[in-house]
Amino acid sequence: MKKKSHKFFYIAIIIVLCIIIAGLFLQLRISTYQNDFLQIDLKVKELTKTLNLPLIKEKEIRGRFFLPQLQQEKTLSIPFDYPLDKLLLQIQEELSLRLVKIHQLEEEDSKDQYQILAKVGSESRITHTLRFILKKIKIALLIDDFGYSKGEIVDVFLEDLNIPFTISVIPGTPQAKSVAEQAHKSGKEVIIHLPMQPKGEFNPDYKWIILDRMSEEEIKSTMKEARKDIPYAVGLNNHMGSLITSEERPMRALLKAVKQEDLFFVDSRTSPDSIAFALAQEMGVKSTSRQVFLDNEKDIDYIKGQFQQLISSAKEKGKTLGMGHIDITTAQALKEIAASLDERKIELVYVSEIVN
C-alpha cells in the first residue's frame, strides 16, 4: 500500500513538473512572439508614416489556443494623385531598411481597384498583412449622332478604338439598324439618341421626335416605335431637347415609358434648365447626366483638356460621364488618350455601369 502511494506521489510530481515546464515554455513562446510583434509593429508604423498614406482599417487576428493577438491587418488608402510607378519598390526598400522580413509582396490590378499586398514579419512568421489600395475612378464615354452613314469614320470608332464606350444612334436615320448591329458585334454598348423639341427654331424632319404638343400616349408610342429601329439598345438619351427636358409633363410621360421598357436614361443636358435627370431620379428610373462635352471644339488638345476635366469630376464623385460626337478628330483624340491612360487609376466603362 505504501509503495502504491509513493508511486502516485511520484506521478503527481512528474505531472506538476510537466505542467510547470509547459507553462514556462508557453510563456517564453508568448514573450518571444510579443517581442517580435512589437518590434515589427513599430517598424510598420514608421513605414506608414514615411509613405504618408491614410489608414482605412486595422484588424487584429487572435492566435490559436492560448496565444495572444499576434497578427495584424492594415488597409491603407493610396490617393489618386499618388505616384504608383515606384511605390512597390519604395515599400520594399523601406521594409528592407528596417530589417523587416518580406514574406510576400505583389501587385494586383483588378476591375475596381489597384492593390499592393505585403505580408511581413520576423524570419519565422508573418506578423502583419498590409494592403495598399487605390479605388479606381470610373469614366463613361458616350458618342452621339450615329446612324447617318457607314464607312471609314464609323469603322474607326467601332473597329479601331478598342476601349469600352457607348454609342447613341438616331432612330430613323439611313444606317441606324446597321450601325447598331455593327456596334454590338464590336463589343460596344448601344442606346437610342431620341430627337426632342428644342427651344426656338428647329428642323422637324425626323421620323421620330418628341414634341411639346404630344399627349402621353403619343410620347409613349413614339418612343416604342423608335426603339424598334435600334437593335440592342439598352438606354436612351436626348438629341436636342432643350424645351422638352425643361418641362415636367412631357418628360414625365417619356420617363414613364423608358421605365416600362426597362431602359436607362441619360440627360444630355443641352439646356441649363433641364429637369430630366432630377425627375428620372425621383421616378426611380436608372439614370445619369452628362458632366463634360468633350468636343465642342474639333481640336485634339482641346479634347484632351476636356478629358482632364472628366478626371477631376470623377475624382470628386467616383464616376462621371463625358459626351462626344462621331468625328474623326474626336476618335483620334480618344485613341491618344487611351494609349496614355493609367489603367491602375482610371477605368473606362459603359454608361450602363454608372447609372443609379
Domain boundaries, the chain: 49-135, 137-353
pLDDT of residue 125: 86
Contact 311, 139 (CB under 8 A): yes
SS3 188: coil
Q: Which segment of 16-30, 40-54, 185-199 scores lowest on mean pLDDT?
A: 16-30
pLDDT at 24 over 50: no
Distance of CA 153 to the CA centre of its chain: 29
Which residue type sits at 324? G
CATH of the domain spanning 137-353: 3.20.20.370
Q: What 3-state class would DSSP assign to 247?
A: coil
Question: Where does residue 54 rank: exposed (0-12), middle (13-18), buried (19+ CB within 10 A)?
Answer: exposed
DSSP letters of 130-145? Answer: EEEEEEPEEEEEEEEE
The larger pLDDT score, comparing residue 6 to residue 232, is at 232
- 123/251: higher pLDDT: 251
Assess whether pLDDT exceeds 60 at residue 28: no
What CA dihedral angle connects 294, 299, 304 and 310, to 10 degrees? -10
Rounded mean pLDDT of 178-185?
98
Ordered alpha helix ranges (H), 261-322: 276-282, 300-317
